[in-house]
Chain A
Amino acid sequence: MAYRAEPPDGGWGWMVVLSAFFQSALVFGVLRSFGVFFVEFVAAFEEPAARVSWIASIGIAVQQFGSPVGSVLSTKFGPRPVVMTGGILAALGMLLASFATSLTHLYLSIGLLSGSGWALTFTPTLACLSRYFSRRRSLATGLALTGVGLSSFAFAPLFQWLLNHYAWRGALLLVSALSLHLVACGALLRPLSLAEDPVVGGPGAQITSLLCHGPFLRYTIAITLINTGYFIPYVHLVAHLRDLGWDPLPAAFLLSVAAISDLVGRVASGWLGDAVPGPVARLLMLWTTLTGVILALYPVAEVPTGLVALTVAYGFTSGALTPVAFSVLPELVGTGKIYCGLGLVQMVESIGGLLGAPLSGYLRDVTGNYTASFVVAGAFLLAGSGVLITLPHFFCFSAPTSKPQDLVTEALDTKVPLPEEGLGED
């Protein structure tokens, strides 16, 4: 059995980037655009919007908590069969949902079944991607994650068109067919044997060793803190703008502008992460601190120009921190343990993500505006970046890492913002 000493950094790796691109599009693009279905569900089942939005929440929660399962299975069997199974599960969930007669059916089929399918696809793919690249890891991750942003643009109008022509049952059937492409993406993930693989052992041993690994734990805490604050602007920006007196259309347009700068930030940061020598954790700290500061400045800006500038900057910096967040992990734990590491990080950081938006909503209800929410979000981000300073080799400027194997799980990406309908008009 021939093991590679070095990740290929190219070649078939670019096909893996393509596969990861489509996968992040099909998992998170679908989740983010699901809001168009919610209006139909509210009318069809005559349930309030808050109960309908639980569908997406359950799906996200299952996807994130189920990530370790995907990791463990990928360590044992390789990513390909796991991702292909995940794709079939995700499509099956949507297929069964098209026959739903009550909201509970949708919770189980889309939330539980499709969510498990997504859990088995996303984490293994990103981990596999980080194994294929070392020098260009951040760039590859950044490019792959642009799939999320671009698909949100494409899928929302597509889903609306499907709803207009097939009603929600037929539309769900066709989204299921769309999700089947995850199987094709999984087929692209050729197994890769790296030199560390026999050394790190089976999944159980890996998880135990990870849980005792100091830097890994500190990193997980940092990512969880970052995650808590990360999504708040996505969820509450439009409501905050409406509070300030903006019309719905310019507010939504501003969100699209943020999404575009998010895309640019991802690719730029990915390139930068590879170009700058030294631990990628420093770049992560830089972007996180900037994002935290921008969030804290939000309440101060009242003028439209200031808000637009802040939103563009927020989009850029928050997009920038995603690829480097994924790149830090391989540097910490090595590519051998990457599957399990990624799964564990995703599971823990999801707690932050699930808490963040409701906490922000609660603060808003208590204080009456979003000032406290944004400041608290910024504080969480700054706290996370503070914890990052404690990572090894942070201040070491002379030791270049030969294998920058930081796979920062795109926890931020996996945290799909809760749809606006769910949080309602605050």
Chain B
Amino acid sequence: MRALQGLRGPRAPSLPLLLLCFLAAVRRSLEDGLSTAAPFTSLPVQEEMMTEYSNLSLESHNLSVTERPNMPAEKNITLERPSNVELTCQFTPSGNLNAVNVTWKKGDKLLEDNYLVNATGSILYTQYRVAVINSKQMGSYSCFFGEKKQQRGTFNLKVPEINGKNKPLITYVGDTVVLICKCQDCLPLNWTWYSGNGSVQVPIGVPVNDKYVISGKHANETRLKITQLSEDDQGTYWCHAIFELGESEGHVELVVLSYLVPLKAFCAIAAEVVLLVAIILLFEMYTQKKKKPSDDGKEIEQGEQLKLDDSNGIENSGPRHRKNESVGQ
């Protein structure tokens, strides 16, 4: 049902209803910003819904749909608590305003009511209102303009995202680890943890034992502490945040290494150092042996030579060497 420019409800509206509609129109025209210049008057169905859920907060979101198909108009809306949501699409058609067909869809399902269409100047506005009270009202809502070549704007209603950790967490056998999941500004009703092996998710902490401890310092985070790690504990852990409007999940990957892994690298490098030291000292002994077969006729042990001698360059031993040789001969 479309209403163009003004109220087209029942032929003989009752006075309180008219008053209500008038008040609603005035309120909306005062509230609306520049984007929705045209005040929408409300349908009776909508007004009833509004009064029923009037204690819920109102969220308004706008989208501008253009005729360029390669830039789809899309907006992501994060909802945590039940609220009234107002979605407005505006469209500037090239041709006649009145010839444009406006429809709304949730997912693939065509929506019949709860929306209004208005035209101001050359811009076409359409507004859809929904009271989101549980997960059934979450999803993708799209406004469509036109019959054959449809221009589309999409609003995605989602629960807040949970951040786990992108990089895998490295731990060792026997260690204790704390896995943290948190979300920015949200307050979930409850948190649950699952460990995933492939696609199967197994809940954690159902039999309360010492190995797993679930805690959380603030409401927007949850911590899973795992003690006595073993290589079986390796894998992906999922944290689920339960909201009134649905569930959201994040994941943390845990890698458990055995101590042997870095130890082997350590031993390899240590062996290399020992080799280097051996090469350096052997080279020194070799060059000293070559240069000074006898030192002033005395037999000096190689070890002593290393400490006492100062042969440290080929060019330095020149004069002394010659002297020794002449003496030795």
Chain A residues with CB under 8 Å of chain B are 1-4, 8, 10-13, 78, 84, 132, 164-167, 169-171, 173-174, 176-178, 180-181, 183-184, 187-188, 190-193
Q: List 24 A-B contacts (CB under 8 A).
A: A2-B320, A3-B310, A8-B313, A11-B312, A11-B315, A12-B312, A13-B312, A78-B307, A167-B170, A167-B171, A169-B172, A170-B170, A170-B172, A170-B261, A171-B262, A173-B266, A177-B265, A181-B276, A184-B280, A187-B277, A187-B281, A190-B310, A191-B308, A192-B312
When the two chains form their complex, are residues B266 and A176 in contact, meaning their CB atoms are under 8 A apart? yes
Residues of B within 8 A of A183 (CB): 273, 277
A166 touches which one: B261, B281, B311 (CB < 8 A)?
A: B261
Q: How far is the CA of A132 from the CA of B312 in the complex (A)?
A: 9
Residues of A within 8 A of B149 (CB): none
Chain A residue nearest to B316 (CB atoms) is: A8
Overall SS of chain A's interface: helix
Most central of B172, B266, B270, B311 by chain A CB within 10 Å: B266
When the two chains form their complex, are residues B316 and A11 in contact, meaning their CB atoms are under 8 A apart? yes
Chain B residues with CB under 8 Å of chain A are 167, 170-172, 257, 261-263, 265-266, 269-270, 273, 276-277, 280-281, 284, 306-316, 320
When the two chains form their complex, are residues B313 and A12 in contact, meaning their CB atoms are under 8 A apart? yes
When the two chains form their complex, are residues A4 and B307 in contact, meaning their CB atoms are under 8 A apart? no
When the two chains form their complex, are residues B312 and A8 in contact, meaning their CB atoms are under 8 A apart? yes
When the two chains form their complex, are residues B270 and A180 in contact, meaning their CB atoms are under 8 A apart? yes
Most central of A13, A165, A178 by chain B CB within 10 Å: A165
Residues of B within 8 A of A13 (CB): 312-313
When the two chains form their complex, are residues B277 and A192 in contact, meaning their CB atoms are under 8 A apart? no
Residues of A within 8 A of B284 (CB): 190
Residues of B within 8 A of A177 (CB): 265-266, 269-270, 273
Residues of A within 8 A of B312 (CB): 8, 11-13, 132, 190, 192
Chain B residue nearest to A11 (CB atoms) is: B313
When the two chains form their complex, are residues A170 and B269 in contact, meaning their CB atoms are under 8 A apart? no
Q: Provided the pairs A8-B313, A170-B262, A192-B310 are in contact, do residues A165 and B170 lie with their beta carbons within 8 angstroms?
A: yes
Most central of B265, B269, B273, B281 by chain A CB within 10 Å: B273
Q: How far is the CA of A181 from the CA of B171 in the complex (A)?
A: 27
Q: Provided the pairs A11-B315, A170-B257 are in contact, do residues A193 and B310 lie with their beta carbons within 8 angstroms?
A: yes
Q: How far is the CA of A183 from the CA of B273 in the complex (A)?
A: 8
Chain B residue nearest to A167 (CB atoms) is: B170
Q: How far is the CA of A12 from the CA of B312 in the complex (A)?
A: 5
Q: Provided the pairs A164-B167, A173-B263, A181-B273 are in contact, do residues A2 and B313 lie with their beta carbons within 8 angstroms?
A: no
Chain A residue nearest to B168 (CB atoms) is: A164
Residues of B within 8 A of A84 (CB): 277
Q: Provided the pairs A166-B262, A170-B262, A187-B280 are in contact, do residues A180 and B273 lie with their beta carbons within 8 angstroms?
A: yes
Q: How far is the CA of A121 from the CA of B313 in the complex (A)?
A: 23
Chain A residue nearest to B281 (CB atoms) is: A187
Q: How far is the CA of A191 from the CA of B313 in the complex (A)?
A: 12
When the two chains form their complex, are residues A4 and B273 in contact, meaning their CB atoms are under 8 A apart? no
When the two chains form their complex, are residues A193 and B316 in contact, meaning their CB atoms are under 8 A apart? no
Taking the closest CB of chain B, its distance from the CB of A175, in whole angstroms, is: 10
Q: How far is the CA of A360 from the CA of B170 in the complex (A)?
A: 39
Taking the closest CB of chain A, its distance from the CB of B328, in whole angstroms, is: 15
Q: Provided the pairs A166-B261, A187-B280 are in contact, do residues A4 and B316 lie with their beta carbons within 8 angstroms?
A: yes
Chain A residue nearest to B263 (CB atoms) is: A173
Q: How far is the CA of A10 from the CA of B315 in the complex (A)?
A: 9
Chain B residue nearest to A4 (CB atoms) is: B310
Most central of B167, B308, B310 by chain A CB within 10 Å: B310
Residues of B within 8 A of A190 (CB): 284, 306, 310-312
Residues of B within 8 A of A165 (CB): 170
When the two chains form their complex, are residues A180 and B313 in contact, meaning their CB atoms are under 8 A apart? no
Taking the closest CB of chain B, its distance from the CB of A72, in whole angstroms, is: 18
Taking the closest CB of chain B, its distance from the CB of A105, in whole angstroms, is: 15
When the two chains form their complex, are residues A11 and B314 in contact, meaning their CB atoms are under 8 A apart? yes
Q: How far is the CA of A174 from the CA of B276 in the complex (A)?
A: 18
Q: How far is the CA of A192 from the CA of B306 in the complex (A)?
A: 10
Q: How far is the CA of A36 from the CA of B167 in the complex (A)?
A: 16
Taking the closest CB of chain B, its distance from the CB of A45, in whole angstroms, is: 12
When the two chains form their complex, are residues B276 and A184 in contact, meaning their CB atoms are under 8 A apart? yes
When the two chains form their complex, are residues B269 and A178 in contact, meaning their CB atoms are under 8 A apart? yes
Residues of B within 8 A of A169 (CB): 172, 262
Q: How far is the CA of A191 from the CA of B284 in the complex (A)?
A: 11
Q: How far is the CA of A2 from the CA of B83 in the complex (A)?
A: 94
Residues of A within 8 A of B277 (CB): 84, 183-184, 187
Residues of A within 8 A of B269 (CB): 174, 177-178, 180
Residues of A within 8 A of B273 (CB): 177, 180-181, 183-184
Known: A2-B310, A176-B266, A190-B306. 6 other contacts (CB 8 A): A8-B316, A166-B257, A167-B257, A169-B262, A173-B265, A184-B273
Chain B residue nearest to A176 (CB atoms) is: B266
Taking the closest CB of chain B, its distance from the CB of A316, in whole angstroms, is: 33
Chain A residue nearest to B280 (CB atoms) is: A187
Residues of A within 8 A of B263 (CB): 173
Can you list the 7 inter-chain pairs with the closest CB atoms, starting with the nearest? A11-B313, A170-B262, A12-B312, A177-B269, A167-B170, A184-B276, A187-B280
Taking the closest CB of chain B, its distance from the CB of A28, in whole angstroms, is: 20
Q: How far is the CA of A183 from the CA of B275 in the complex (A)?
A: 11
Q: How far is the CA of A180 from the CA of B307 in the complex (A)?
A: 23
Q: Provided the pairs A164-B167, A167-B172, A184-B276 are in contact, do residues A173 and B262 lie with their beta carbons within 8 angstroms?
A: yes
Residues of A within 8 A of B315 (CB): 10-11
A1 touches which one: B167, B265, B281, B308 (CB < 8 A)?
A: B308
Residues of A within 8 A of B310 (CB): 2-4, 190-193
Chain A residue nearest to B287 (CB atoms) is: A12
Q: How far is the CA of A296 from the CA of B94 in the complex (A)?
A: 66
Taking the closest CB of chain A, its distance from the CB of B217, in whole angstroms, is: 11
Q: How far is the CA of A180 from the CA of B271 in the complex (A)?
A: 10
When the two chains form their complex, are residues A193 and B167 in contact, meaning their CB atoms are under 8 A apart? no
Chain B residue nearest to A166 (CB atoms) is: B262
Residues of A within 8 A of B307 (CB): 78, 191
